[in-house]
Structure formats: structure tokens, C-alpha cells
Structure 1
Amino acid sequence: MVNCVVKNWQGENVGETTLELKVAKAENAEHIVHRALIRQINNARQGTASSKTRAEVRGGGRKPWRQKGTGRARAGSSRSPLWRGGGVIFGPKPRDFSVKMNRKERRLALRTAFDSRLEDTIVVENFAEQLDRPKTKEITAALKRWEIDAERKVLLILPEIPENIYLSTRNISNLKVIKATNLNIYDLLNASKIVATTDALEQIKEVYGD
């Protein structure tokens, strides 16, 4: 069980909340998180890269010159991989890069990754009602009050993403906003700082706490 300090919109400490997640054993934690990360990265690949072999390149059906007597090296096709405009040797072909991982393992890896980032996590009160209209400057100022460097990558976790918050954050290049139900390994590990609202934290406990 970990105790987290809760800050309000003004950046003041207003209480504490607890978070308890079942995580992997210390000797297995790094391995299972790494597997889940590789799985996510590989599954995001389209796998549509394709090149043509000498059999697929248009043309090249006629022998360029006779076999003997020219003084040049023998050639059977102008689409040889050695020629300009020829095919590609061992080039990429469409393939499936996806990696399978059991659901229980994926959830364990996610909980373990989140638990490892708790030192870099700031819990704040729900602030949706603080923005009556979209205002990027308000979000930037709030990050400063929460002692977060705007130059570093920040992950903001919310239970839902209201339109005012979406419009206020979309122009902040280093800030990514996701729903608590859409947590993923890559975003958790890629961010320098994580900001989660109290409602988002409760949702994480409910969804991933088993």
C-alpha cells in the first residue's frame, strides 16, 4: 500500500489517498514489463512494408546480350538485383509483427509499471469544473503550481476527458491526456511525470486492482 499526497487546483496539499496494486515479484518485474512493452510496440506496427523481387519487377524478360563473346559478364535479365532498376534481395514483405501475451500477464505488467512510477506521480483533485471555457494558459499555470516542468513529458490521467480539458491541452506538445481505462505500458514508462485525478485513481483501483 502506498500513500499519495493529494493537491488541489491551487497546488496546495489537501489530503492523502492510498493505492494498493498487486504487482509482480521483484525478480520477475523487469522481465514481464519489458515483454508487455515489446508487445505493445510490435502490435502497433502496420507490417505493410513491401519491396519487389527480381521476379516481380516489370520487364527484364529478354536476355540483355548473348552469353559469350562480348567480353562482358554474363547476364540473363536487366532486373537482376545487381542492376539499377532491378529487384531487391531479401527486402521487406508484408508480415504480422503482433506478439501474444496472456491477459493476466498484461494486467500484471501494467500494474507493476504503474506502481514503479508512483514516485513520479502527482495526485490532484478533480479540476474539470475549474475550466468554464477552454484555456491552455490555465492548464500550463496549474502544471507550474503542481511543480511540474512543462519542458518534460507529462501524462495526465482522467476518468473522462471533457471537451474543455481536451481543447485546453491539445496545444501543449509535451502533455498527453488519456482516460484511466486506456492505461498502457508505453505511456506510463515514456512520461517524466504522471498526473492523475482522485477519480481516475479510484477508477484504476477498480479496473486494474484485481
Structure 2
Amino acid sequence: MESSVFFENSEKKKKAIGIIHRVYLSQLKNSRKYLASTKTKSEIRGGGRKPWKQKGTGRARAGSIRSPLFVGGGVIFGPKPRLVYKKINKKERKLATISALFLKEKQLVLVNENEFLNFDQIETKLICQLLSKFELEEQKKILFILPKPNKKFWLSSRNLKNVEVTTVTCLNLKQLLKASHIILSKESFDLIKLTYGQQ
């Protein structure tokens, strides 16, 4: 895995970082939930009766006590729950993922495939032993990339705050960028190149 070959010049590297930045911001935007909600005058309870007659009082015309002009009335142009989605091209997303992986070459830890297959029981201690075997600190963000889903491995790592587990087909750019160490096998790496391409 030679990042020097992948990024032949600094210009190519700048373009890759630009794509990563764009895809990362799009993912952040798509993950946000816009749940703030206010009521308009038609949604607030009450206000069915006209507060005072139309003419003769000397006061301004009013049709409902729930008008935004009154205390306890509705809100003009207030926020409502809404969906916000920014489209990311598939090729762009794939390129950003593989570029992020190559840029984090120094944080990659290649292990034997048997290290992942040996999990026949749900035991957090086994994950801790695996981390100590490769001299990795539990305080750092660690990402395991498995070639295929392994429920026992995932359940074993669930209690560890800084450890995340994903598969080749579910790689997340945010996880890759935040990880201090990325642990994967040779099989996982070959599958990543097959899935995301070698642009």
C-alpha cells in the first residue's frame, strides 16, 4: 500500500482532501435532525370568538385572540420539523472513502484474519487482549474493519467506549477520519479495494 503511488503529486492530494471535506460536510448535514417546532395561530387552542366588534371601539381590528400580535398567540414563520438532504454522488463517496483510508496509512494496523474468526464467545476481555497484543491504548479511538458481519465480535466490543466495529460494505467516512488506529486484515483491505476501487 503505497500512498506515494496513490498521490503522485501534491495537486492530486489536494483534490482528494477537497473531496473528503465535501463528502464529510454532506454526511454531517444529512445526519442532522431538524425537530424544532412552533405553532401557528390556527394550531393554538382557543381564539374562536372575535375579541371585540369590528367597528366603534376605537381599537385596531382583531379577529382572534390567538393572533401572533397577542401574548399567547401563534408564531409567525417559526421553525417546523423538516427533512434536509444533500445528495452525494456514489463515485464521489467511494473516492472520498478510499482516499481517507490511504491518507491514514500510518494509522493502519494489518492483522491476521484468524484474529477476527476466533471470537466464538461474547467476551470484552478478548478485545482488550487483542488491543494489548498490538500495543494500542484503549483511550484512543480504534476502528475495527471486518470483512463480514460478526455479531459476537460486535457485542464483545460494545462496552468499550472508544472502540467501534464496522464492515467493509458499511465503511463510514466520519469513522475513518476520527479513528486514531484502524485495525483490519489483508482480506478486508483487498475487499475495500475491490468495493471502492483504486482510483
Q: TM-score range by the shorter chain?
A: 0.7 to 0.9
Cα RMSD (Å): 3.0
Tell me which residue corresponds to 2:31.
44
Decide whether the 8 Å contact of 1:154 with 1:194 is kept in 2: yes
1:173 counterpart = 2:161: yes
Tell me which residue corresponds to 2:99.
112
Decide whether the 8 Å contact of 1:122 with 1:196 is kept in 2: yes
Richer in strand (by share): 1
1:200 counterpart = 2:188: yes
- The unaligned stretches of length 5 or more in structure 1 are 4-18
Deviations 1:60-112 (A, max 9, x none): 23344578568xx9865432446553323332224331111222212111111
Select the residue among 128, 132, 137 that pairs with 2:125.
137
Decide whether the 8 Å contact of 2:23 with 2:96 is kept in 1: yes
43 and 110 in structure 1: CA distance in 2 versus 1, 3 angstrom threshold: same
Tell me which residue corresponds to 1:146.
134
Richer in helix (by share): 2
Tell me which residue corresponds to 1:2.
2
1:89 counterpart = 2:76: yes
1:150 Cα deviation from its structure 2 partner: 0.7
SS across alignment from 1:50: coil
Deviations 1:85-144 (A, max 9, x none): 332333222433111122221211111122222222211112134333221111112112
Tell me which residue corresponds to 2:88.
101
Decide whether the 8 Å contact of 1:60 with 1:79 is kept in 2: yes
1:34 counterpart = 2:42: no
SS across alignment from 2:88: coil
1:204 Cα deviation from its structure 2 partner: 0.5
- Matched residues in 1 for 2:26 and 2:65: separation? 42
Select the residue among 162, 169, 173 that pairs with 1:185.
173
- Matched residues in 2 for 1:100 and 1:130: separation? 40
- The unaligned stretches of length 5 or more in structure 2 are none
